[in-house]
Structure formats: C-alpha cells, structure tokens
Structure 1
Amino acid sequence: MRVRRSWCAAVTAVVAAATLLAPPAAGAADEPIIDPIPEEPQQSRLGLVLQEVAQLPASEATPPATDPRLIRHNRINYVGEVPDGSGRMFVPDLNGPLYLLDGGQQHVYLDFKARFEHFFSGRGMGSGFGFVAFHPDFARNGKFYTVHSEDKAAIDSEEPTYPNQPNASVQSVVTEWTADDPAADVFSGSQREIFRFGFTTQIHAIQQIDFNPTARPGDPDYGLLYLGVGDGGIGLDSDVPQDMSTPAGKILRIDPAGNDGPSGQYGIPASNPFVGTPGALGEIYAVGMRDPHRFSWDPGGRHAMYLGHIGQHAIEAVYEVRAGDNFGWSEREGDFTFRPENQCYLYPLPADDEKYGYVYPVAAYDHDPPQGWPCNSDSGHAISGGQVYRGTQFPLLRGKYVFGDLVDGRVFYTDVNRMKRGAERAPLHELQLFDTAGKQMRMTDFVGDGRVDLRFGTDAQRNLYLLAKANGKIWKVVGTRAAPGSEVTEQVQRNLVAYYDFERPFAADDSRELDRGSSRTLLSLLGGGEDMRVADGAFPGSNNALQAQQVNPEVAGNDDWKAGVWDGNGVSSLSAFNGVEGATVMGWFKMTGENPSPDSNTPDPGDRYNAVGLAGILSGDSDGHDVRALLELIQVDGELRLVGLGRRIDGGSSQTFAAEQDWRELLPPGEWVHLAATFDYTTGEIALYRNGEPLPGFYTVPGDPWQLDGSGTTKTNPRGIKIGGSFPQNTAERNPCNCRMDSLMFLNTAAEPDAIAHQYRRFFQR
C-alpha cells in the first residue's frame, strides 16, 4: 500500500510544463500571458536505471514541525564525495546530522542539532543544516564549510556580518571547520564563524554553499566559496534582490582564507565583478534572484556554472551564471515581466528591455496548474537543480544537464549544447525511470509518496545520484535503457479529454489525481483519499490502480470509496463535452468484492442496489447521478447486465445498450478486463467493447428517447465525472463498485471499432 500525505499549504514556488520558446514579442505590455510556456517537456525514450544505495535514518525538526512539508522521513538534501580520494560520500540532513557513507556503511560525522544552542529547522523549507562544502584541499588542510539556521534568540544576541533584514526571524550562519584528522570517521577539531545574516521570513535564506570543483590550484577561482543567498521571502514586493547594499537575492563569492571582509573572517576576491563599485558589496558575484536553490559546474566543456532557480508564480528556470549577471527578480520572472500586484499572470517584456541588461534562462518550464486550481495556491512544483553528466559509462547521457522537479519528482534533461544565452530556451525532455529489475516506475513509486522532495548529487567518477526526503533513500544511476512509447495511440490522443492512470498524484494534495488528457481536469479521490491508490496494474508498465468500494453498508453516509469531479455550474475544463456529437468512456476494471452492494439507503439489510457504477460523464443538469455517457452494470428486466447508458438532451430520456453475455463472464472476479462504451449522439448508436472486441447487445428503450435530429448533446458543460458510484459532490451514496480501475479515458468522439481495438493492443505492444 502506498503511503502519502496531503500538501495543501501554500508554497509560492510551483511548476509543470516547459521549453523551446523564444521570449514573447516586445510591445503589448499590458496583455497578460496566461500560459507562458505552453509546450510540455517531451517524453524521452531514454530511461535511467536506479539502484538503491542507502537508506538514511529518520530525523525530526527542531522545534517540532507543524508544516506537513517538513514532516518527512528525514530531510537529506545532497550527496557528494569527500575530495580526499577515500571514496567516502557525505549527506547533509536539514534536521541536523551530517552523515558519511563509507563502503555502504553510514555514520554521523557531525550533528548540528547537538552542536548549536540556537539550531533551528522547524519552519521554512530550507531551514536547518542546509549544506556542506569540503575545501578542494581537504585531505591536506582538513577544512570544510557549512551553513545552518539559527532562531530568534540568536538574532537578539549575535552580531550579523551585514544588517539583518527587517524583523528578522531566522539567521543563516556559515562556519569553517578544521578537522584534526581529515581521515577520521567522526569530526574533532576547531570551528570559526565566517558569515551570519538574518532573514525576515523562514524561506529563501542560504540554501547552498560550494566550491567550483573544476578550478585547479593556481586558477583564480580555486578555493573561493560561493554562497547562494535567497531574498528572505521579501523580494516579491521590494527591491531587495536588486539592492547592491545587501547580500539578499544574490550569489556571493568569498575567499575563506582572506581577511578583508567586513568582519575580518573572510576575504573579498579582487576579481569579483562589483569590487570598487560605489554602494555595492564586493562579495556579490551575481544578482536578481528569488531562491537560488542549487548550482553546479559542468565538469567538461566550458565548465559553465548552472543555477536551478525556484520561481514565484509560474517559471522554474535554469540559468548559466557568469560574473556580474542580473537575473531580474523581482522585475522579471524568467523572461517575462512580473507584476506583484497581479501574480496570476506574467506579461511580455517591454520594448526597451535591452537597456536593463537582464540575463534570461537557458532552459525553463512553467507551473501549468490544473484547471480551476487557484493561481496563488501551491500547485506542487519547484525546480531541483542538477548536474551535467560527463562520465564515460553512459554515452547517451554525456553532455546532458540532468535535473528535476523536487516536489513531484519528474526527472528532466536538456542538452548543454542547446543551453545558450540569448538564444531560444533549450527543449526539455522527461527521462523515464526503471528499477534494477527492469520495472518502469516514477519517483512517486520509488518513494511511495506524492511529494518526493527530490535532489541530485554526484561523485568523483561523475556518477549521478538521486535522493528523496520522502523516504530518506539515495539511488545511483547504474544504467540507461530504452523506454517504451506512449500507451495512448495517436487515434485516441486526438480526442482524449480526460485520462486518469492513477500514477500521478497531485503533489499539492495526494488525494487528487492529475489528468493526462487535454482538459487537465483534477480528479478527487473520495472516501479513502490517497489510500485508494493501490499497487496493482492492469497491463505491463502500470504500477497503480484505483480501489473503489463500499465502506459501511449499514449506514446511509458518504464514506464509500469513489472518485470524481463536480461543479454545479458545469465543469468548465470539460467543455469539450459541451454540444458534443459523440463520446467514449473506456478503461480497465477488476472486480474485487461483492457486487452489487447492499443498499445503504433502505432499512432492509437484504436490499441491493440495482446497479454498479463504473465510470461516466454527467449531464449538464445532473444532480450527480444523471449522465451524458456511462459504463455501468444495471438491472435490465430484473437481470444485471453490462451497459452503455447515455443521454443526449439535458433533462431528457436516456437510452441503454445492454450486453447479451452474462456480466459475471465479462467481468470475472480478480481479472483485469478492458471495457469501452461509445455514444454517437447524431445517430443514436451505442456500442460496447471488451478487450478490444465488440460485444453483441440490444437497446432497452424502444423508439427514439434521444429525440434525434442529427445534432449533438445539449450545449452545456457536464457537471462532472463520476467513477465507482454516483454523486461525486459527495453528498450521497449510490451504486458503489467493489472494484479496481486503471487508465480511465474519456473521449469527445464515438471511437471507431478499430480505434478501440488498437488502443487495447497498445497496452501490451509498446
């Protein structure tokens, strides 16, 4: 059984779709852009094979967290190799421990929770022990650097390097450590604080610090420490990220071995771009950032520095970082104009944009929230910056920047040779994932949770690693393989309005399922929420199914497990079924219990419902029961039959086409069966299919109940979709199905027999 949680709290950073698109034309500056990057990342046929290499212990925040996004198995957030040739890997956990992994064995090297009196990790996504950077000469000098958070008591008692932000609530502290013995399993040695700065809120503090691993002794960049400093959560409606007198919203570069910084604890490299600029901090390397979450350097090529930048309203971006860059926040989000007074939209760049000198992303994707989801709510996305693969083991990965979405766990790549400043954004590709047994999975399957909290790392051999807070595990990329093509045929895809495969929990709320169809209609899992996703698949490559069931047959309540979407004014995202000339409902079904169920709405415990609800599209005036198109088991002349039941006119009569064969033969217990029902509203024809083959049947209503006139249905939006029973508004129970369902598809055409047959075969022939 998959374990998930609900994530309804708001995080402003969110994501979802991406890619090759030039900036919008200048001009029309007041025209809002509703979908800034309409192209989705392309599904790659390249797959990564992941092998679990570590399971880190559970940990808890200090003080105890109340935000469910912080209540994870642990909060590991990076994996790298200690640069001493030992092969030891290091893993920081935001909740306090710094782990070393040595030959598969793990132990705590240093515990920040125990070390610092004012250690703080209980609020804010990046608070706690954020990062560790080992000096490239660690084997000789024993030096490494860390950043951690401290609470209000520290703010009241400790002197910051630069004035704290107004009403600061948390401080980021950078510390230098010198180990007595660099080869020791547990730290002993000395420490000194080199930088401290306080932030107004608990978000967007210092997330990463690091050295450029491509710099060699004698290079100007060797031994210089980069600090990714967020805007403290106040850059949204202030000029903090552009204010050169504060560290916030910047990438800093300092010399830990120097002493000409403001506190005398570090130096300011003379080669920094703003040294000597009046009013500017000499530490600043690049400016104009909201949340510079993760940065890394390309081990090959030009050794470019790439930043994964978490956006505010819509854009998750990858920037190539050079000295003196300004990424434009909060005047810009990605390569669009941002207006804090109207965060639901972005706007085109102004005609005179060049004069500002802003640098725009080399790759990006947008949030693309489900239809109807509030624009200012968390839609469950944020970029997790990654690594350029330059290893030799996997040639198909060479030269690719591999990164992902830290919330929903999708893994992407883009080619470095397409990531060019001033050019079109590089196209994104979504990598497929496999376990070592060859089973295709998503990261949500690997972690057993809809929110993955994905991060990336690498080792000295340039191998790639993925890790997740959701279950505290680390995986190594141990292979590549060809991924199968889409399970949806081109014939079906053209008219696929809604598609639920129950592999895609909505990361902002696991009790909802994302739609893979064109409508992006968010489905609610009612009664059992995320527990309704069960580890069962109808065909190769499917990992999950939806479990529907009656819960309490003795009570007329609302606790049955079913799914659906409902709007009494009509579901606008389902407008493709408005006045439609045809419809198709199809999917996989497996009977898992007693059907039909006892009728919970009558006093007689022997009464049974006269139907078993499978899946259907509601009419435009439905009370949650009446349908435009429905697959169902229903009594016909006192005998339960598999039927296609449809209605052309709202409020009008329905027609039913019933299969002749006994439903128990069509749907034997415990066996997956593919069913389809098609409805042609212009001719009145209904057809049923089982495993791609048409089923003989008969119409149950004589005459012309649809009042055919050659046109389609009433021109109203359906009030929703119902799955596993009636009343998706969850006000009543009727006709529950004790069954499992997989890959439910709703088309706005009456699919032809060959399209149904081809789609059925596609599930097995990808």
Structure 2
Amino acid sequence: VAIYRNGEVFIRNELSTGVAERSFFFGNPGDRPFAGDFDGDGIDSVGLYRESTGLVYFRNPLDSGVAEFEFFYGAPSDRIVAGDWNGNGSDSVAIFRPSDAQFYFSFENVQQEADVVLRFGSGSWWPVAGDVGEPRGLPDVAYQEIASGFSSPLFLTAPEGDRRLFVVEKAGRIIQIAADGSRSTFFDMSAIVASGGEGGLLGLAFHPAFGENQLFYVHYTEGTDERVERTVVREYRLTEFGPSSTRILLQVDQPATNHNGGMLQFGPDGFLYLGLGDGGGGNDPFGNGQNQNTLLGGIVRIDVASGSSSLWAYGLRNPWRFDFDGDSIYIGDVGQSAWEEVSVGQEGDNFGWPVFEGFQCRLGSACEGLNATPPIRAMANPDEGRSVTGGYVYRGSEIPGLQGTFLYSDFVSGYLRGFRLDNGQVVAERDWTSTAGQLASVSSFGEDGFGELYVLSFDGKIRKLVAG
C-alpha cells in the first residue's frame, strides 16, 4: 500500500501494520495520486492528477524529483483512475466526470480524445480500478506423439535447460532421446532392480547443478520379482565411463509388495523429495499412514549434502507422482476403493489416510479433531478412475494460457484434466478428454528442461502436450 500526504508519497510493501519503508516528495499538496505500471516493466509507479488544471504528471522512479512527462487529460474536477484497459500490459489513465457520471478511457498516456466513453454510477461515486472479471479459462490442448517403442515407460525428465529427454523404463533402463530424436541407453540398472508387481525403477532426478557436478538420483525397488523387500534412493555420478554409484542415500524396508510410491524430485529449497506409500496391503494394516515415526505413507525430504532424511508430510496411501510449484506440493494419491485424490499442501501437512479417503471419513470418531488437509479434487472409484496419475503444474512457454495449471490423469480411465488455483481455490478447470483423446494405461507425466509437459503410457508411446 501507499499513501499520499501533503505532496509526499509513503510506501509500505508488506500488508501489515508498520512504518513506511520509503518516502519521497512528488507534486503539490492537493494533487490526486494514482498508481499503475505505466511503462510495462511489471513494477507500479506513481502518477498525479492536478484537478485544478486537468494536468497528468508521471514519474517512474520511486524517488523525489520532477515529472518525467505530463499532458492534459480531462477537465478540472474530474477524478483520475488508471488501469490496463486494452490488455497490452501497460496501464493508462481514465477520468470519471461527476457532472455526467461518465468514464473517459485513454489507451495511451498522451493528450488526446478518449478512446472509450461509457456511463456508469452517479456523480457522487469515486472511481477505482482492478481485475474483477471472470478468471481466464483454460486453452485447448492436444497430444503430439514424439516417440514410441518403449517398454513400460514410467517417467520422463531432463536437467534444466537440456534439450535431451530421459525416459525411465520399469525394468531398470533409462533411455536418452537426443534433440534430433536419436536414442541411446543412458543407464541400465536392471540387474539390481526388482521390477515385479508395482516395483521397478520408479523415479529419476537430476541434481540442480547437474551441468557442473554430473550427479543424478534414482529410486528403485530391491528384492526378487516375486517379493519387493526394500526401496532404495541411490546417488550416481556420470563419468566418461558411464554412471558410477557414489552412495546410497536411503533404504526403506517394505512390509508388503505394493504401495511403493515412486516420485523423486528436487524442491525449490534444494532438497530432494521422495514419495513413499504406506507399506501396502488394504486399509493400512501396518498403521503407517498416521505414524510420524516412519517414512512410509509420506513425503520424505533428503538432504543430499549430508545424506540425512526426514518426514516432510504424511497421511498418504500411495503418492505415485507429485510436483512442486513454489512452496506448494501437488500430489496424486492413489486411493483404495472409494476415492482417488489430488491434494495440495505444504510442509507438515497430514493428508488424512487412512482416517479419510477423499473427503469421506472412514474411521468414525477418529475423524473428529483430526487436522487433515482435504484434497482439492476427489474422483469416485470406479466411475472416474481407479488409479490417479498426477501430474505437473505447467510452467512452460509454448502454451501461455496454460500457465499455472496442474494437469493429471488416471491409469485406468485415461482422461486428461487440469485446474488452476488462486489462493487455494480452483478458479479454472477443464476436462480435455473429448478433444485430446482418451489414452490407455497412463503411467506418468514428465517435464522437459524447458517446462513443457509429456504423457507416458504403457502402449510404449511418449506424447507431448501442445496447443490444440
């Protein structure tokens, strides 16, 4: 917020009680202040309107000084307001004339006739401006097949800014796709991966400084093809002779053969995050979901510098895929028999399993007083799906209207859906299945080094999301 007092501007960037963080003189007592991004640089500055003369004064630097430019607009006693009236990214002025209750909009900050005139309100009203329209909808998207012939592809990723794609196959191979489309085996660790059932090579993450240190991390299951015994997170360094194991960061014993989780991703804080299921079986028989003394049934934070790990969030059944967007984590949690979930949360959150499944209380009185984070979306099983596949928040550049949208699917239903949040509330949502097409056995989404998204399925194909 800012205030204007006797020719002095006081600015406070935090929305809390306190003193001004900066102040400067501009104009004369009695001038009417207004604010806007007048040069399109993404930063607001201060303008003044002198009602006695109808002169508009602009100064872009937030410091004392004379106006950088000025022009006449309107007439004495008009009331000033500023906004991006034509959606070009820069604010311009408008005046409200009390004598006729009309707005006079200018699309440029120059002396000219109004571009648009409209009547609204009464002469005693005071004008304000803001983005109060309906949130923008989500654009059309489509699938573009870019590769095929993979064996049970489970994941796709790439180092930031790298034009290669790295495809993870369930049995333990990582296939590299070069920018020209040619393929080669980046790493084959199938000899140590137990890939039966829900096991396999489940996750891959490149160190944020991969270009300098050549470190990458894998999450896989050990045991036999009949029995998963443990999940492992291991660090490798790429050398001139190929990947070389440096250390095991984490081993977690698995009491059953399913609910192994899978996702491995570096968060915005530089820590490595892992999704682990509740240990398997129906109805959380080992009691791990609400047990904060185990890593099972939670999101695990790993400090790759020290090798230490800790429980970051809990109350999850099988968080197969997740994605960070800022400090928030978007999780696709595979349900049991009633609901599939997409949840959004932060550090320390309890997502409710097994007390809750979706929005549904499962354990009677245990639900009372449990501070559980409810899902953003819960999909009925079997009507809407049986195994949710989340998902990424789109932060690429090729589909601008999709910015900030979380996209997800279901391994069984094969739909393509997405939503965008604002302050924790869904403000836009869409199901593209009827236009983009329904896929079979959607195993994962993936993100390339530039934020563009891909969909993987057990038909062995990799499809890129493109503008529809």
Report 1 or 2 for greater relative contact order, CA contacts < 8 Å, sequence distance ≥ 6. Answer: 1
2:432 aligned residue: 431
Matched, 1:243 2:315: no
Return 145-154 or 323-332, whichever deviates more: 145-154
Distance (whole Å) between structure 2 residues aligned to residue 407 and residue 191 of structure 1: 38
2:266 aligned residue: 211
Matched, 1:180 2:239: yes
Matched, 1:101 2:185: no
Of 334, 354, 357, which aligns to 2:371? Answer: 357
The Cα shift of 1:398 comes to: 2.2
Structure 2 spans left out of the alignment, 5+ residues: 1-136
Of 350, 353, 360, which aligns to 1:336? Answer: 360
The Cα shift of 1:366 comes to: 1.4
TM-score, normalising length from structure 1? 0.41
Distance (whole Å) between structure 2 residues aligned to residue 187 and residue 209 of structure 1: 21
2:216 aligned residue: 144
CA contact (8 A) 2:276 2:318 kept: yes
The Cα shift of 1:106 comes to: 1.3
Flag as ranges the 4+ runs of structure 1 deviating above 3 A: 44-47, 425-428
Report the secondary structure of 1:99's partner residue.
strand
2:206 aligned residue: 134
Matched, 1:52 2:145: yes
Equivalent residues in 2 for 1:20-169, closer than 5 Å: 46-57=139-150, 74-83=151-160, 85-103=161-179, 104-114=181-191, 116=192, 119-122=193-196, 124-125=197-198, 127-151=199-223, 169=228
Q: Deviations over 1:651-696 (max 9, x none)?
A: xxxxxxxxxxxxxxxxxxxxxxxxxxxxxxxxxxxxxxxxxxxxxx
Structure 1 spans left out of the alignment, 5+ residues: 1-43, 58-73, 155-167, 216-220, 259-265, 269-282, 340-346, 370-378, 434-439, 445-450, 481-766
AA of the residue aligned to 2:466: V
Report the secondary structure of 1:396's partner residue.
helix
Distance (whole Å) between structure 1 residues aligned to residue 219 and residue 138 of structure 2: 39
The Cα shift of 1:443 comes to: 2.8
1:170 aligned residue: 229
Structure ranking higher in strand proportion: 2
Distance (whole Å) between structure 1 residues aligned to residue 280 and residue 427 of structure 2: 29
Percent identical residues: 29
Equivalent residues in 2 for 1:555-704, closer than 5 Å: none
Distance (whole Å) between structure 2 residues aligned to residue 460 and residue 95 of structure 1: 24
Of 254, 274, 284, which aligns to 1:227? Answer: 274
1:312 aligned residue: 336
Change (3 A) 1:441 1:255: closer
Distance (whole Å) between structure 1 residues aligned to residue 173 and residue 247 of structure 2: 19
2:254 aligned residue: 199
The Cα shift of 1:395 comes to: 3.1
Of 467, 477, 480, which aligns to 2:465? Answer: 477
The Cα shift of 1:323 comes to: 0.9
CA contact (8 A) 1:418 1:426 kept: no
Of 364, 380, 383, which aligns to 1:366? Answer: 380
Change (3 A) 1:189 1:199: closer
Matched, 1:443 2:443: no
Of 417, 433, 442, which aligns to 2:422? Answer: 417
CA contact (8 A) 1:47 1:432 kept: no
AA of the residue aligned to 1:294: R
Matched, 1:295 2:316: no
Change (3 A) 1:368 1:243: same
Change (3 A) 1:191 1:468: same
The Cα shift of 1:399 comes to: 2.4
2:61 aligned residue: none
The Cα shift of 1:427 comes to: 7.4
2:55 aligned residue: none
Of 323, 326, 344, which aligns to 2:347? Answer: 323
The Cα shift of 1:93 comes to: 0.6
Distance (whole Å) between structure 2 residues aligned to residue 334 and residue 366 of structure 1: 9
Distance (whole Å) between structure 2 residues aligned to residue 409 and residue 169 of structure 1: 27
Change (3 A) 1:303 1:169: closer
Report the secondary structure of 1:289's partner residue.
coil
Distance (whole Å) between structure 2 residues aligned to residue 99 and residue 170 of structure 1: 26
Report the secondary structure of 1:140's partner residue.
helix
Change (3 A) 1:190 1:239: closer
Distance (whole Å) between structure 2 residues aligned to residue 46 and residue 197 of structure 1: 42
CA contact (8 A) 2:168 2:201 kept: yes
Count of residues in correspondence between the two structures: 330
Change (3 A) 1:45 1:142: closer
AA of the residue aligned to 1:338: R
Distance (whole Å) between structure 1 residues aligned to residue 423 and residue 414 of structure 2: 24
2:126 aligned residue: none
AA of the residue aligned to 1:409: G
Q: Deviations over 1:294-314 (max 9, x none)?
A: 11022xxx4521111111121
Structure ranking higher in helix proportion: 1
1:502 aligned residue: none
TM-score, normalising length from structure 2? 0.65
The Cα shift of 1:432 comes to: 3.8
The Cα shift of 1:457 comes to: 1.3
Q: Deviations over 1:235-294 (max 9, x none)?
A: 534421112222111111011210xxxxxxx124xxxxxxxxxxxxxx010111100111
Q: Deviations over 1:193-230 (max 9, x none)?
A: 22112212221114111101xx3xxxxx22x1111111
Distance (whole Å) between structure 2 residues aligned to residue 332 and residue 87 of structure 1: 42
Distance (whole Å) between structure 1 residues aligned to residue 445 and residue 351 of structure 2: 23
The Cα shift of 1:180 comes to: 1.8
Change (3 A) 1:138 1:245: same
Of 452, 459, 464, which aligns to 1:463? Answer: 452
Matched, 1:408 2:413: yes
Of 392, 403, 413, which aligns to 2:397? Answer: 392
Q: Deviations over 1:520-552 (max 9, x none)?
A: xxxxxxxxxxxxxxxxxxxxxxxxxxxxxxxxx
CA contact (8 A) 1:419 1:426 kept: no
AA of the residue aligned to 1:267: S
CA contact (8 A) 1:383 1:404 kept: yes
1:261 aligned residue: none
Report the secondary structure of 2:289's partner residue.
helix
1:286 aligned residue: 313
Q: CA RMSD in A?
A: 2.6
Distance (whole Å) between structure 2 residues aligned to residue 292 and residue 153 of structure 1: 22
AA of the residue aligned to 1:457: G
CA contact (8 A) 1:386 1:402 kept: yes
Q: Deviations over 1:386-413 (max 9, x none)?
A: 1112333323322221111122210001
The Cα shift of 1:169 comes to: 4.4
CA contact (8 A) 1:409 1:454 kept: no
Report the secondary structure of 1:148's partner residue.
strand
